[in-house]
Amino acid sequence: FITAFYTFRLICLSFFGRSRVDETRREHVHESPLVMIVPLAVLAVASLLGGFIGLPGRLGLIQRFLEPVFTPANEILGIHEHSLGALDYGLMVLSLLVAMAGIVLAWLMYVRRTDLPVVVGRKLRPAYQVVYNKFYVDEFYAATVVRLAVDGSRWVWHNFDERVIDGAAHGLAWLWQHAGEGLRPLQTGRVQNYLLAMFIGLCVIAAVVVLL
């Protein structure tokens, strides 16, 4: 019912009633070329008639073609060929009647009585708002999943990325900067200081060799 109603609501709004295309765009509207019309026509015919192939099963239109697929499965499930009986036809007729009810309702509301959607929306305002807002699924999703994802990402960014990742990078930079500042006095550029450092180093090495 719902699928039939919304499908024909779309059809009624698109192809019936007053055009809602503004004048600036109407002049650019043109028929599609055959390369698009022919495939669409084939799909339209298949969508209208293709669903009736093999229905009802008692007609046996394609049962032999699909017999290698369905026969073993039916034997496993214990389904017999004529176990459904009139139920097959009854369900088919019931489905068509329910779909036709949705189609007729869409035609009445969007072709015959275009004021009905407004009237129904005013009289059933709470229900209309719930349906119009798609049962607030988007709002619920935004308040739960999206909000949790955003808050979780913000927490990870603030506590892990800034403090751990950035802290490690900045800490290493700070360490090497201060280490360089501490070693800077040793690099005076004077040969005398370098010779003195070499002499002290040789003395230390000689003392170690002698003592060991």
Averaged confidence pLDDT in the chain: 83
Locus of tokens 């002698």: 210
Between CA 29 and CA 49 the distance in angstroms is 30
DSSP H or E segment with residue 172: helix 166-183
Is pLDDT at 147 greater than 80 in this prediction? yes
| Claim to verify: residue 104 and residue 6 sit in the same structural domain | yes
How many domains, in total, are found in the chain? 2
- Domain match, 44 and 103 both: yes
Residues 12, 101 within the same domain? yes
- At 45-82, the pLDDT tens digits run 988 887 777 666 666 666 667 677 777 776 776 655 55
Q: Which of 93, 113, 133 is the last residue of a domain?
A: 113
Q: Would residue 27 count as lying in a domain?
A: no
Residue-range definition of the domain harbouring residue 153: 142-211
Whether residue 98 sits in one domain with residue 11 = yes
Question: Per residue in 159-189, pLDDT tens?
Answer: 888 888 888 999 999 998 888 888 777 777 7
Taking residues 107-114, what's their average pLDDT? 87
Share of the chain above pLDDT 70, in %: 87
If asked whether residues 72 and 162 sit together in one domain, one would say no
Domain membership of residue 83 (yes or no) is: yes
Of 73, 49, 72, nearest in space to 61 by CA: 49
Q: Is pLDDT above 90 for 150?
A: yes
Determine, yes or no, domain membership for 119: no
Virtual torsion, Cα 127, 12, 96, 79, nearest 10 deg: -80
